[in-house]
Homo-oligomer: A and B are copies of this chain.
Amino acid sequence: MARELWEGNQAIAEAAIRVGLEAYFGYPITPQNEILEWMSKRLPELGRAFVQAEAELGAINMVYGAACTGARVMTSSSSPGISLMMEGLSYIAGTEVPMVLVNVMRGGPGLGNIAPSQADYNQICKGGGHGDYHPIVLAPASIQEAVDLMPVAFDLAEKYLNICCLLIDGSIGQMMEPVELPEMRPVVRKDYPWAVNGAKGRPRRILTSIYLDPPEEEKTNLRLLKRWQEAQEKEIRYKEYFIEDAEFIVIGFGTAGRVALSAVRAARAQGIKVGLFRPITVAPFPYKRVAELAQQVSAFLVTEMNAGQMLEDVRLAVNGSVPIEFYGRLGGVVPFPDEILSEIQRVAKAKLSADADPVANWMKRMEMVAR
């Protein structure tokens, strides 16, 4: 198909529709209103289900119900709205039904602002809802990548009976890029052996997240964990740039990762042997690959649009073998490539220790910038 110029939010919505989305439930919130608005136009004309829910709380529980029928279903929101979905997400994980969630992150905490941010990484990757569960989280850095990951997200959700989250920010949601969208596929409602769709000619089915007897709940938790381990082995995705001869490596996801690419190119132009590692699955995180890279390089520079959330995963992967530095911007500020470039230059020269606290050091530098 031909490339067309698409706005990120609309491209994501259209991509979901073309790969068989049957129902969307959502509530307006900037910077992702274009997803809901696109759905409100397209789904009814295609005879599929669209409901603007009374709130995110309603939306996620409508998604919960729809997912129980085996339909391809998704919702989308931005930071505060995602926080309201935490109970529902925990229920969905505990009931082992598939769904796709899109979080177009904005500056926080609280009402914050509508600028691009990455500060909901821990919320979705570590535990926003109660209990032990792990959504699969994909962090595209461009509109094309987001579009290409849409069918992947549904497939992963359905394969692992889990939540799959597309974690992006307002800049990806509202920018425009040339994109090739997937062909329109026919909708096929799979007759999953677990789906509730009427006990006709089969024993009745129950979908629930209650296991009053703790040993039963423990079994359920272990079942979830096993699937998670399988996903960790099979579903890791990442993109590497200038890695072969890299003496140290920048790690960033999503927008921070693509901004870092500009900086890395500029550094290369200056003869600095630096590479870029951009995780695409941030959960499961590419621990193994980062551990391997730790054998090759002398240091890592982690850059995020938050206060060092993915940083902890990098530290767990590196496990003390080489120094790690951090550079973050907060509250909706998007770093310019030259900021990261100067960090790269600093790291290239600096003597670093593997025991130093990367966040504490970064904070000191931030204060010197004294904004």
Distance A320 CA – B130 CA, assembled complex (angstroms):
29
A220 touches B (CB below 8 Å): yes
For A332, give its contact among B90, B130, B133, B217 (CB under 8 Å): B217
A residues 191-210 with Cβ under 8 Å of B?
Answer: 208-210
Proximity string of chain A (79-101) to chain B, C-beta cutoff 8 Å, 1 when within and 0 when not: 11011101100111111000000
Chain A: residues with Cβ within 8 Å of the partner, total of 78
Copies per assembly? 2
Residues of the B chain whose Cβ atoms lie less than 8 Å from the Cβ of A82: 130
Given contacts A83-B90, A307-B132, contact A218 B371 (CB under 8 A): yes
Residues of the B chain whose Cβ atoms lie less than 8 Å from the Cβ of A128: 83, 86, 123, 127-129
A169 CB to nearest chain B CB (Å)? 12
Residues of the B chain whose Cβ atoms lie less than 8 Å from the Cβ of A336: none
For A131, give its contact among B119, B130, B133 (CB under 8 Å): B119
Residues of the B chain whose Cβ atoms lie less than 8 Å from the Cβ of A371: 215, 218-219
Across the interface, do A131 and B108 meet the contact criterion of CB distance under 8 Å?
Answer: yes
A92 CB to nearest chain B CB (Å)? 8
For A210, give its contact among B86, B112, B312, B329 (CB under 8 Å): B112
Across the interface, do A91 and B120 meet the contact criterion of CB distance under 8 Å?
Answer: no
Given contacts A87-B84, A316-B312, contact A109 B123 (CB under 8 A): no
Surface stretch bound by B, among A46-54, A221-229, A343-351: A221-229
Given contacts A80-B90, A86-B86, contact A113 B363 (CB under 8 A): no
A107 touches B (CB below 8 Å): yes
Residues of the B chain whose Cβ atoms lie less than 8 Å from the Cβ of A91: 109-111
Residues of the B chain whose Cβ atoms lie less than 8 Å from the Cβ of A132: 108-109, 119, 306-307, 309, 330-331
A315 touches B (CB below 8 Å): yes
Across the interface, do B215 and A333 meet the contact criterion of CB distance under 8 Å?
Answer: yes
A342 touches B (CB below 8 Å): no
Given contacts A222-B330, A371-B219, contact A123 B127 (CB under 8 A): yes
Closest to A78 in B: B130
Distance A95 CA – B300 CA, assembled complex (angstroms):
34
Residues of the B chain whose Cβ atoms lie less than 8 Å from the Cβ of A113: 210-214, 217
Given contacts A87-B84, A127-B123, contact A210 B316 (CB under 8 A): no
A236 touches B (CB below 8 Å): no
